[in-house]
A = this chain, B = another copy of it.
Amino acid sequence: MGFESQIAQDQADQPHSLVLRFPAGQPLVLDSGAVLAPLTIAYQAYGLLNAERSNAVLICHALTGDQHVANAHPITGKPGWWETMVGPGKPIDTNRFYVLCANVLGGCMGTTGPASLDPATGRPYATDLPLVTIRDMVRAQAMLVDALGIETLFCVAGGSMGGMQVLEWASSFPHRVFAAMPLATATKHSAQNIAFNEVGRQAVMADPGWHGGRYREAGTRPDKGLGVARMAAHITYLSEPALQRKFGRKLQDRAAPTFSFDADFQIESYLRHQGSSFVERFDANSYLYLTRAMDYFDLAADHGGVLARAFLGTKTRFCVMSFTSDWLFPTADSRQIVHALNAAAASVSFVEIESDKGHDAFLLHEPEMLATARGFLESAARARGIA
Contacts and interface: CB of A to CB of B under 8 A. Distances in A.
A188 interface: yes
B208 A228 contact: no
Nearest to A296: B257
Given A194-B249, A298-B249, A203 B203 contact: yes
A271 B301 CA distance: 24
Contacts of A206: 203, 207, 224-225, 227-228
Interface in A229-288: 231-232, 235, 240, 243-244, 246-249, 257, 259-261, 263-265, 267-268, 271-272, 275, 288
Nearest to A225: B206
B232 A199 contact: yes
Nearest to A229: B228
A191 B261 contact: no
A201 interface: yes
Contact of A268 (B32, B198, B243, B248): B198
Given A235-B196, A259-B32, A202 B288 contact: no
Contacts of A248: 190-191
A295 B265 contact: yes
A148 interface: no
Contact of A261 (B192, B205, B224, B264): B205
A278 to B, nearest CB: 13
Interface in A153-205: 188-192, 194-196, 198-199, 201-203, 205
Interface string A3-16: 00000000000000
Indicate the member of A131, A198, A201, A259 with the most B CB atoms within 10 Å.
Answer: A198
B249 A191 contact: yes
B247 A191 contact: yes
A205 B260 CA distance: 13
B189 A249 contact: yes
A199 B259 contact: no
Contacts of A127: 261
Interface string A63-101: 000000000000000000000000000000000000000
A203 B190 contact: no
Given A198-B267, A227-B202, A131 B259 contact: yes
A238 to B, nearest CB: 8
Given A190-B244, A195-B235, A228-B228, A202 B275 contact: yes
Contacts of A240: 190-192, 327
Nearest to A244: B191
A130 interface: yes
A211 interface: no
A292 interface: yes
Indicate the member of A131, A194, A227, A240 with the most B CB atoms within 10 Å.
Answer: A194
Contacts of A292: 261
A208 B208 contact: yes
A271 B203 CA distance: 13
Contact of A231 (B202, B231, B243): B202
8 nearest A-B residue pairs (beta carbon): A206-B224, A191-B243, A32-B259, A191-B247, A131-B259, A191-B267, A198-B268, A192-B240
Interface of A: 31-32, 127, 130-131, 188-192, 194-196, 198-199, 201-203, 205-208, 224-225, 227-228, 231-232, 235, 240, 243-244, 246-249, 257, 259-261, 263-265, 267-268, 271-272, 275, 288, 292, 295-296, 298, 301, 327
12 contacts: A131-B260, A189-B249, A191-B249, A192-B243, A196-B235, A198-B265, A202-B227, A205-B261, A249-B298, A257-B296, A261-B292, A265-B295
